Structure 1
C-alpha cells in the first residue's frame, strides 16, 4: 500500500484504485475476497463510509461483488470466445440426436458446457426496431422466441429471435422446448437464410437484462447488443436474432480471409 503522511486520509477514489491494483497483482487470490471492513478502515486511515464508497466504485468497475453478511469477493471471470464468423454458416454443427444446436456446438468446442433455459414463445406487436429489421409495418404482430443461454451453468447470453407471423406460425418455432434440426429450423420449414446482416452496439443493461443475466445491479459494465438479420432467397428478412451479451463474459471473434 502506498504510504501517506500521518493524518492525511485517503479518498474513496484513491482507495478504490489502490485496491484494484492489489487485486490485479493477485494479492487476494488465495482468499478470493477483500479483508474485512475493520481491517481496511485501519489500513487506509479512513472511515467506514469512505470505504463503502470505494467498494461501490470497485463494484461499478466489475472488479468485486458483495454478499450480505459474508464480505466482498473478487470477481472471477472466464469469458468465452464466440467465433461469430462461423456461427450458423456453411456446414452447421447441429446434432439433433444429442439436442446440440450450432451455438451449443461452438461452446463445446471451447471445452465449456453449454445449456439453455426452456424457450419462451410469444406473439406480440414487434418493437419499432424489430419491425424495421424485419421490414414489417409498425404495429405488426410477430413471433418472439426468447432463450437464456448458459455456459458452465452461468448466464452468458440472452438470445431473442423474432420471425414474421407467416413463417413461424404452425411450425416448430412455436414450440416451447429446445428444437434442434440439422441445418437449422428455418431451412427445414422452407425458409433458409441465404444472407445475413450483422450489427453491434454496446450500452448499459436494462433492469430486466440485469435480472435475467444475474448481473451485479451496482456494476456499470456494458452489454453488447449483437443483431443478426437473416434474409431468405427472395431477399426479404426471415429472422432477426438479438443477442444481449455481457461485455466481460463474451469476446466476439471475427476471422477475415482474403478472397
Structure 2
C-alpha cells in the first residue's frame, strides 16, 4: 500500500513550529512567496494561498504592508488553572479575581469572548455521563470562544441540567454574576469541583472551525472538563474547555 504524502498544511505547520527542522522558519522570518512554496511542495498556488490565509487567522503568520508575510512570534497564554477553577465561570461569585479577563490582562494582553449562545438541547452522551443524567434528558448549553488579542485561544462550553437552568440568568447572553454564584441563588450552591485533563481525542471538525484551525492541520489539544457538585453532592454543571496546545500553557500552583 502506497503511503500518502504529507499534506502541505502539515508540512508548513511543522516548519513554523519545529525548531529542530533544517528548514524551520523562525519568528520574524519572512515566508517564501506563494510561487516559491507552490513549486517547492508541488501544490497549486491556490492551496498555498488558502493555507497561508488560515495560518494568518490562527496567529502563526502576519502580513506586513508592502513587505510580505512573516512568521509571527507566538506567546502561549499562561493559564493558572488552580486560580481560575477556584473562582470563575458562568456561576462565578461577583468578583473578577481569577476570571478570564483578569488572567489575560495580567499578562499584558487583550481578552475578549464571543457572544455566548444558550440553547436547550438533548444532553450529548459525554455531558450525560458527567451529570449522571438519563438518555433523552435536556440540558442548557452555553457555547463560547475565548480570544486573546483577537485570536481564538479556547473553546469554553458550559452545560447545566435544564431543570435547574431553564429560564434562569444562566441563559442570559450578557455576563452575569451574583455574590455567591448564580447556582447558589437557584438553590444549588457548589460545594466541590472535579477537574479532568486529557490530550485526546484530536480536535473535531466543528472545534477546528470554531478555533479557526485549518481542517487538514494537525494541532495538539488540551481538554479540561470541570464538574461542579452541590451540597447534596449532585453534579450541577460541566465546563468543557478545548485549548490548542501551541497557544496555551496550563499552570498549577500548589502550596508546599
Query: What TM bracket, shorter-length normalisation?
Result: 0.7 to 0.9
The Cα shift of 1:219 comes to 2.1
Using the alignment, how far apart are the partners of 1:243 and 1:88 within structure 2? 12
The Cα shift of 1:111 comes to 2.4
2:221 to 223, 228, 233: 223
Contact 2:130–2:238 (CA under 8 A) maintained in structure 1:
yes
Larger radius of gyration: 1
Aligned to 1:140: 137
Residue 194 of structure 1 aligns to a residue in which SS? strand
How has the CA–CA distance of structure 1 residues 181 and 93 changed in structure 2, closer, same or farther, with 3 Å as cutoff?
closer
Aligned to 1:200: 197
The Cα shift of 1:199 comes to 0.9
TM-score by length of structure 2 reads: 0.74
2:248 to 247, 250, 253: 250
How has the CA–CA distance of structure 1 residues 211 and 198 changed in structure 2, closer, same or farther, with 3 Å as cutoff?
same
Deviates more, 1:202-211 or 1:229-238: 202-211
How has the CA–CA distance of structure 1 residues 185 and 107 changed in structure 2, closer, same or farther, with 3 Å as cutoff?
farther
How has the CA–CA distance of structure 1 residues 251 and 208 changed in structure 2, closer, same or farther, with 3 Å as cutoff?
same
The answer to whether residue 123 in structure 2 is matched with residue 130 in structure 1 is: no
How has the CA–CA distance of structure 1 residues 114 and 187 changed in structure 2, closer, same or farther, with 3 Å as cutoff?
farther
Using the alignment, how far apart are the partners of 1:178 and 1:168 within structure 2? 15
Aligned to 1:5: none
Mind listing any 5+ residue stretches in structure 1 that lack a counterpart? 1-11
The Cα shift of 1:51 comes to 11
Using the alignment, how far apart are the partners of 2:176 and 2:87 within structure 1? 20
User: Across the two proteins, how many residue pairs are aligned to each other?
Assistant: 224
The Cα shift of 1:159 comes to 0.8
Aligned to 2:42: 49
Contact 1:37–1:48 (CA under 8 A) maintained in structure 2:
no
Using the alignment, how far apart are the partners of 1:48 and 1:161 within structure 2? 42
Aligned to 2:23: 19
1:213 to 211, 216, 224: 211
TM-score by length of structure 1 reads: 0.73
Mind listing any 5+ residue stretches in structure 2 that lack a counterpart? 1-7, 16-20
Using the alignment, how far apart are the partners of 1:142 and 1:181 within structure 2? 21
- What is the correspondence of 1:56-205 to structure 2 with a 5 Å cutoff? 73-89=70-86, 94-95=94-95, 102-202=99-199, 203-205=201-203
